[in-house]
Amino acid sequence: MDPYRTNRLSQSILEVLSRMLQVSVKDPRVGFVTINSVELNRDHSVARVFWSVLGDEEDRKKSFAGLKKARGFMQSNLVRTLGLRAAPELRFEYDDTVERSVNLDHVLDDLAEQGEFKSEADKKREMDLEDLEVPADLIAGLRAAECLWIVPHFNPDPDAMGSALALREALAATGREATVVSYPDPPAGFSDLPGFDGVVTSDEAEELYRTQEPDTLVLVDCHRIDRCGPLEDVLARFETRWCVDHHLVSGRKAPERGWIEARSCSTCTLIYRVNTVLGQGDASGDEPAFDLTRGMGTNIYAGLINDTGGFRFSNTMPLTFELARRLSAMGVDTAAVSRQTMHRYRPEGVAVLQRVLASFEYHRSGQILTLRATREMLRDTGAALSDTEGFVNVATAVDGVKFVAFMKEVEDGVWRVSLRVRGEGDVQQIAARHGGGGHKQASGCTMTGSAEDVTAELVAELGAVLS
């Protein structure tokens, strides 16, 4: 089976089951059940459904009994809703991941308040750039490669694309063949980034793999190949896979080996450290030394400035400014990079922004704001999905808003959702329930259904966090 189709179907089943629990299944025992993830077997005959519920052991037993009773009804509805020939057998498995995470957070917060434990915020304030230690096996793996693909996540943002381009230049400086491959086609808004003209489009990936025969894959700004859209099929053929990412590991699937450092404000910050270590060469002289170039610095700054929202987001810390200082000293035109990647819109982008602003909907006394960019909006204005980059930041600037959900329709009825929180809060766990991930204050996921249904589901989940 096509792994991309399997992942998409698993996500669709998760969405349908979640809506059924909220709307169709009347048993009060399942009223507070959350479906965290769904895993299909190879032939789609069995679906492992991982669920959780707040409460004690007795609540879990009652909820499990309710789920088993509703199993036949839910399987029949899956066939009708998703147009399946046959429904997979639903096997419900309790997932205590969220529960353990919440309990651990509370314990750590209590210890921090008592002065017996340093909070993550305190640790970040004390970190230096050199405290971000590059794993030795990652460097060894890159140096063992001869021909590499560097792939950012689906619909890359400046941090993903900047990371890929900066790493490609560093690997090229060591004499290796390295290619950046992107899906969908690389956004035109990145055209001023050094090396952008060498990015290979997704349509060329299959042919390039056959002719180039690359030996190593490096994922940047993501840690699993299922985050790369339809490229997943060709990427699965790589036997050697690495990742460099700053997003929290989410879901039950294991990440690729490499470097996942959630304390970092951006993946580009990690790439700066990787390039620095690569540039030192080795004692034997087999690996050439090189200096970081202005081009590398420009791409790294693009990710740094965007993932911190122009140094406005709470992930900004002292080492963020230290890195910005070093990049500026290298000759990076920081004003130009900011203007090109954060403050520039095509006329088509302005047109679709007008339509998106008109879609604003306020919920829960103005504390939740939802907005959307539909395929119809994009068609009518001639805009591309990449033109909507940064729109979510307009919504987060509205006074009184605590949570923002920006829905972008990537296919008919398929929505890429960006979640944001102002101040205290955690949207990462909500994204994880829908197969996504990210950070506590900025996460994303994919959901299916009508705009109204997806909006209602998001408002319900965000509202539960407010309660």
Q: Is 6:44 a contact under the CB 8 Å cutoff? A: yes
With H, G, I as helix, E, B as strand and everything else as coil, classify residue 301: helix
Separation CA 282–CA 142 (nearest Å) = 13
Separation CA 454–CA 456 (nearest Å) = 5
Query: Who contacts 424 (Cβ-Cβ below 8 Å, separation ≥6)?
Result: none
All residue ranges of the chain with pLDDT < 50 are: none
> In CATH terms, are 3-94 and 347-466 the same topology?
no
Q: Right CATH number for 129-343 from 3.90.1640.10, 3.30.70.20, 2.60.40.10, 3.30.43.10?
A: 3.90.1640.10
Nearest-5° Cα angle at 98, 97 to 103: 100
- What is the per-residue DSSP string for 48-75? EEEEEESS-HHHHHHHHHHHHHHHHHHH
Q: 347-466 has which CATH code?
A: 3.10.310.30
Separation CA 6–CA 414 (nearest Å) = 15
Please give the helix or strand (H or E) that residue 136 lies within, else none: helix 136-144
Could you tell me the fold of the domain covering 3-94? GMP Synthetase; Chain A, domain 3 (3.30.300)
pLDDT at 31: 78
pLDDT at 284: 82
Check whether the bond before 288 is cis (ω within 30° of 0). Answer: no
Separation CA 301–CA 194 (nearest Å) = 12
pLDDT at 342: 86
pLDDT at 15: 82
The full set of domain ranges for the chain reads: 3-94, 129-343, 347-466
Angle, helix 136-144 to helix 267-279, in steps of 10 degrees: 70
Residue pLDDT, tens place only, 339-351: 998 888 889 999 9
pLDDT at 107: 62
Separation CA 108–CA 124 (nearest Å) = 15
pLDDT at 106: 59
CA dihedral angle for residue 260, residue 261, residue 262, residue 267, rounded to 10 degrees:
-80
pLDDT at 118: 64
pLDDT at 313: 86
